[in-house]
Copies of this chain bind each other. A is one copy, B any other.
Amino acid sequence: MPKSAYEQAGVSIDRGNQAVERIKSMVKKMGVQEIGKFGGFFPLKGNLRHPILVSSADGVGTKLKLAFLMGVHDTVGRDLVNHCVNDILVYGAKPLFFLDYLASGRVEPKVVGEVVSGVLDGCLENETVLLGGETAEMPGFYRDGEYDIAGFIVGIVGKANVVDGKAIRRGDLLVGLPSSGLHTNGYSLARHIVFEKLHLKVSSKVSELELSVGEELLRVHRSYLKPVKPLLEQGLLKGMAHITGGGLLENVPRILPEAVSVAIEKTWPVPPLFQFLVQAGSVSEAERYRVFNMGIGMVLVIDPKKLSRVEAALEKAGEEHFLIGQVTENRGRERVRIG
């Protein structure tokens, strides 16, 4: 078949449609039909009083480079969905629907299919639906075999159930939930340390780590929906912070009222991956808690009187957890002291 003028310019509508068909057939299995049209429909049901939509947009950052290096494309979609779910969960919102944006220089239906299957896995894991998305072919923007993805989530919470940190007081406790790895932050530095400084490959094994460095770095950003949902339903949480870019140092202050600061104690076991990275990269104390999550992916702020109920609910959900600090009076600029 002769190439059309458009194909000569590097864009194939047929290849794009092929990818869309692949996605459609996957999405159909989820019971959502509207993909491939202009927009997706989501009927609002239930009788929530004063419903508030909570929405967030995010990407996976340079973790994608790991996926490219390893040729593994079906996990970054889960990273993306889980990251977005956590970002609205911190306000008490449960996900309604998700949309993705996937851009590459040349649409490879196989790779697109793998990426979107990861997105769908993430949606299923979080009991949400993929309502739509855009697959963009942009010649000259991305290197061969590379792509970027962005995700967009909409959730809902009743006004009375919003968790916004306003009730946080001196004496409240900080409970940390474990991360599954780097999640989606700190990859530029991690790659610099592992590949440029240490000259390792993704398949390299080091004594400190269970899996290959590539596999360790690509571990999926986990969702906290399942363990946190029962806590929300019992009204046990005053505030939550998802530990993403900026680490504990920048994410915890986002939810603190003016009157308070927090004192974090290093009570939790820092996972081997972080120990390895900060040592090999000589990453300073101050920087490591800003760039990496250091093993804590979600921080819950609770009334000390509710600690036993919180612990019981987390244990019931099979969720490990650490008492990592408490709320203090405001100490000025240093809102988070890690001692």
Contact = CB atoms under 8 A, between A and B. Distances in A.
Interface of A: 4-6, 8-11, 13, 16, 36-44, 50-59, 61-62, 64-65, 87-88, 90-91, 93, 96-97, 99-101, 103, 131-134, 136-142, 146, 148, 150, 152-155, 159, 162, 186, 188-189, 191-193, 241-242, 245-246, 250, 254-255, 281-284, 287, 290-291
Given A39-B87, A39-B155, 19 more contacts: A4-B287, A5-B282, A6-B287, A6-B290, A6-B291, A9-B191, A37-B254, A38-B87, A39-B56, A39-B153, A43-B52, A53-B96, A57-B101, A57-B152, A58-B134, A59-B134, A99-B152, A150-B150, A154-B154
Nearest to A165: B37
Most buried by B among A39, A53, A153: A39
Given A52-B41, A57-B133, A152-B152, A10 B188 contact: yes
Contact of A13 (B99, B191, B290): B290
B57 A93 contact: no
Contacts of A4: 284, 287
A331 B152 CA distance: 39
A287 B150 contact: no
B150 A38 contact: no
Q: Which 10 A-B pairs have the closest CB atoms?
A: A152-B152, A39-B56, A101-B150, A9-B192, A57-B99, A9-B188, A38-B87, A42-B53, A9-B189, A11-B188
